[in-house]
Amino acid sequence: MLRVENLSKEFRNSRGRQRNVVKAVSNLSFQCQPGEIYGLLGPNGAGKTTTLRCLSTLIKPTSGNVWIDQYNVLEHGQIFRSKIGFLTSDMKLDGYFTPDYMMNWFGQLNKMEDCRIEQQKEKLFNDLQMTDFIHKKIDQLSTGMKQKTAVAISLIHDPEVIIFDEPTSGLDVITSKAVTDFLVSRADSGKIVIISTHNMTIAEKLCHRFGILVDGELKEEGTLSDIIEGSSWDNLEDVFFSYILPGGNHV
Amino acid sequence: MFKDSLIILRKELRRIFTDRRLLFMLVVLPLVMLPLMYSFMGRANKARMVEINSYSSRITICSGEGGEEVRGWFFESLSALNAHVETAGTYELDSLKQRVIDKDLEVLVVMPDSMDDHIRAGSAFDLSIFYNSTGDYSKFAFDQVDIAFAAVGEAIIRQRIMESGMSEDVLTAFTINKQLAAGEFADLAEEGSMMGKLIGVMLPFFIVIYLFANSMKVGLDSVAGEKERGTLAMLLVNQVSRLSIVLGKMISVMVAAIVGAVSSAIGLRIASRYLISMTSDSGASISEYTMGSTAVLQFAIVVIPLAILISSLVLLVSTFARNVKEGQGMIMPVYIAVMVMGVTTMQTGDIPPEWMRMTPIFNSLVVLKDIFMQDAVWGNIVFSLATSLVVSAVLIFITLRMFNDERVLFRI
Ligand SMILES: Nc1ncnc2c1ncn2[C@@H]1O[C@H](COP(=O)(O)OP(=O)(O)OP(=O)(O)O)[C@@H](O)[C@H]1O
Ligand SMILES: [Mg+2]
């Protein structure tokens, strides 16, 4: 089980003489069970990336903590990293190498045995339908193929928790579906999946539970029916807009 | 930990040594740049000499009244030149000068009236010779005329001395280098030391340039590039420690730097042959310079720490910068400063000032020069090694601190 406990993150910016503190995430708490896909929704600058970076040990929370079972992010960074797979949409892999080479390399970085790497490679290449292009240079691949490669690389060590920051942004519907189907299959096999997105249609179809994040604060949390029942709207998108559009009843 | 560094290093090296374009820039360019440049310059020089020698200069002698016989001597002296000589009257002087200005005439000689009276009286007279240094052949023609006329002057003096009853031997007080034994040369420079000196003077500059250029080519992409592409995050969520990442990347940058330094040293070695044949008149001193094994060892002891120092410097900037472009902007001033150091060592004499020996980078360059001049002192070599390593350690320490600082890694 993954548990986020009162997570806050502040950035101190010093632009010129001015020093100001940006509260990117304030007092965020939620939980995810194995088999569950959790969607973190929010407009630009809401704090989604910041939250996911805290979850993946890249940055340290100002206060609060994150737990995976009995391990927490502040004390057990190394173990934490072995349990998570992290991916951001704005990542561009070095085009010089092949997907196959990168998989091997990231496998080694994760201290995996060679035979285990081979097993994982075969499984991921099949599941993501990548076998046609694993020996081509990444430079020569389409955007969708690149994203599939990135997904495969981030999961080479078969982590319990999958943390993807906007995994479908910039993809066409077919690749987008391939990626989301893949995530569903992971969740079905007992993994915890956490994604961030602005795409309500995908979120509604894909996620079991949602958190709506606005200005670093969690405004709504729960399943689709939890969220809709407590509001005067009948779909996720309208609830979302009511928090962020001027004139919305929560603004 | 070192095993992890090795995983990182292997990939970085594979990136460098299997990419033909990168390999060309890192290895081939420093190797062929200098030989190409010098052979080109040498060839251009030779072509120019051939062209000048085949050009027939236009010379006009403008003279006053009388003195036909004396004028004849001067004409005679010019007959050996590849020149077209004309005569003119003094009334044309202004238009002739204009022709020199217009590069329509290479040399204008103006002779005074009745030169033979002066000769007879044993007194001196004035010749004016005009040329135009901006013309392609004018100065060359002037020098030739000058030499030819000097010979006329000497003949006149010889004549006077003989007329006064003295022997013409009084004209020669001594000769230089007429009595050298067979196989003996005036230039006593040791075999190969001329090329050694030439390499010694130029090499520190090129070594430091290519150490820097190659470090930048590989090092800026190595961290700043990964930040820019967002792949650094992928690297950090793995099981490898940040120290291993820094070391692995550091060594790969260093390898690229050293490869560039060695290539440029070999390139300069090849180029120095053209350079010597361009600068020295006699072919006698073009003997090969070979580095002894001590010199090779000393070279390695100086260049490797220098490469470590420069690559840690580049890696530090690369870690701090948000992207490659910002990194380039930050490193440029340092690059220029180091280039100035290179030029300075090129221009200092055999005994550099003490502060140069104390300054990191500078002292390595000075010692490098000593090595090729064959007068390196081990104390200085060890000192430059020590300063380079100490400074590198400090730089690596700072880089490591930055690598553990999310404000640097995720700076926006
Ligand atoms: N490293 C940083 N330094 C300073 N401020 C930061 C940093 N990272 C994020 N912020 C600020 O924190 C806030 C939240 O940013 P974050 O990137 O988490 O939003 P997001 O929800 O991922 O937005 P988007 O949909 O645009 O990706 C923003 O105001 C941003 O400017
Ligand atoms: Mg984001």
A197 occurs within a structural domain: yes
Are A79 and A166 part of one and the same domain? yes
Give, using CA atoms, the residue closest to atom 5 of ligand 1: A11
CA B340 to chain centre: 14
Distance from the Cα of B229 to chain A's closest Cα (Å) equals 5
Which residue, among B275, B287, B220, has the nearest Cα to B252 in the 3D structure?
Answer: B220
Which range (A31-40, B116-125, B303-312, B327-336) has the least confidence?
B116-125
A148: phi then psi, degrees, rounded to nearest 5: -60, -40
Distance A34 CA to ligand 1 centre (A): 28
Measure A48 CA to ligand 2 centroid, in angstroms: 6
Contact B406 A91 (CB under 8 A): no
Q: Which of A84, A53, A92, A58 is nearest to A170 (CA)?
A: A92
The answer to the question of residue A236 being in a domain is: yes
Q: Output the six-digit token pair for B141.
A: 């023609």
Instruction: Report, as an integer, the average pLDDT of B110-130.
Output: 88
Verify that A6 and A72 share a domain, yes or no.
Answer: yes
Q: Are A173 and A147 part of one and the same domain?
A: no
Same-domain check for residues A175 and A120: no
- A76 and A163 both lie in a single domain: yes
Residue that the structure tokens 């249609």 belong to: A201
Residues 6+ apart with CB under 8 A from A229: none
Q: Which residues in chain B have Cβ-Cβ distances shorter than 8 Å to A111? A: 239
Do A67 and A18 sit in the same domain of this protein? yes
B231 min Cα distance to partner chain A (Å): 6
| CATH number, position A59 | 3.40.50.300
Number of other CB atoms surrounding residue B379 within 10 Å: 8
Alpha carbon of A197 to ligand 1 centroid (Å): 14
Has residue A250 been placed in a domain?
Answer: no
Question: Can you state the angle between helices B362-372 and B193-220, rounded to 10 degrees?
Answer: 150
What pLDDT score was predicted for residue B277?
67
**pLDDT of the residue at A249:** 67
Q: For residues A66 and A163, state if they share a domain.
A: yes
Low-confidence ranges of chain A (pLDDT < 70): 15-17, 247-251
Q: Which of A106, A121, A152 is the last residue of a domain?
A: A152
**For A89-123, b where at least 16 C-beta lie within 10 A, e where not — what string?**
bebebbebbbbbbbbbbbbbbbebeeeebeebbee
A56 vs B7, B231, B237: nearest CB: B237
Is residue A30 domain-resident? Answer: yes
Q: How confident is the model at residue B257 (pLDDT cuts 50, 70, 90)?
A: very high
Give, in order, the Cα–Cα distances in Å from A213 to each of A49, A206, A218, A243, B91.
11, 18, 5, 9, 100
- Contact across the interface for A78 and B239, Cβ inside 8 Å: yes
Domain end, chosen from A136, A152, A168, is at A152
Q: How far is the CA of B359 from the centre of ligand 1 (A)?
A: 44
Structure tokens at A194: 């956490």
Residue whose Cα lies nearest atom 10 of ligand 1: it is: A24
In a shared domain, residues A57 and A173: yes
Minimum CA distance residue for ligand 1 atom 18: A47
B214, B257 Cβ separation under 8 angstroms: yes
Residue-range definition of the domain harbouring residue A170: 2-83+159-244
> Ligand 1, atom 12: nearest CA belongs to which residue?
A24
Judge: B7–A86 Cβ closer than 8 Å, yes or no: no
Tell whether the model's pLDDT for residue B283 goes beyond 50: no
Tally of CB atoms within 10 A around B18? 11
Domains of chain B: 2-46+193-409 (no CATH), 55-171 (3.40.1710.10)
Q: How many residues does chain B have?
A: 412
Using the Cβ of B148 and the Cβ atoms of chain A, whether some distance falls under 8 Å is answered with no
Instruction: Tell if the CB–CB gap between B7 and A109 is shorter than 8 Å.
Output: yes
Tally of domains in chain A: 2
Q: How far apart (Å, rounded) are the C-alpha atoms in residues A211 and A29?
A: 10
Q: Let me know if residue A251 belongs to a domain.
A: no
For B209-226, how does the pLDDT look when each residue is reduced to its tens digit (9 = 90+)?
A: 999 999 999 999 999 999
> Would an 8 Å CB–CB cutoff place A109 in contact with chain B?
yes
**Distance separating alpha carbons of residues B275 and B41, to the nearest angstrom:** 9
**A82/B4 Cβ within 8 A:** no
Would you call B406 an interface residue with chain A, using a CB distance cutoff of 8 Å?
yes
Half-sphere exposure of B160 (CA within 13 A, CB side): 14
Q: Are A106 and B229 an interchain contact pair (Cβ–Cβ within 8 Å)?
A: no
What is the 3-state secondary structure of chain A? CEEEEEEEEEEEEEECCEEEEEEEEEEEEEEECCCCEEEEECCCCCCHHHHHHHHCCCCCCCEEEEEECCEECCCCHHHHHHHEEEEECCCCCCCCCCHHHHHHHHHHHCCCCHHHHHHHHHHHHHHCCCCCCCCCCHHHCCHHHHHHHHHHHHCCCCCCEEEEECCCCCCCHHHHHHHHHHHHHHHHCCCEEEEEECCHHHHHHHCCEEEEEECCEEEEEEEHHHHHHCCCCCCHHHHHHHHHCCCCCCC
Q: What is the ipTM of this complex?
A: 0.91
Contact A43, A196 (CB under 8 A): no
Residue B388 pLDDT more than 80?
A: yes
Pocket test for ligand 1, best of A18, A40, A50, A169 (most atoms within 8 A of CB): A50
Lowest-confidence segment of A4-8, A58-62, B202-206, B348-352 by average pLDDT: B348-352
Q: What is the pLDDT of residue B352?
A: 82
Q: Are residues A68 and A17 in the same domain?
A: yes
Residue A63 sits in the same domain as residue A104: no
What are the tens digits of pLDDT across the range A146-166?
Answer: 999 999 999 999 999 999 999
Q: Are B296 and B381 in contact (CB under 8 A)?
A: no
Q: Is the CB of A44 under 6 A from ligand 1?
A: yes
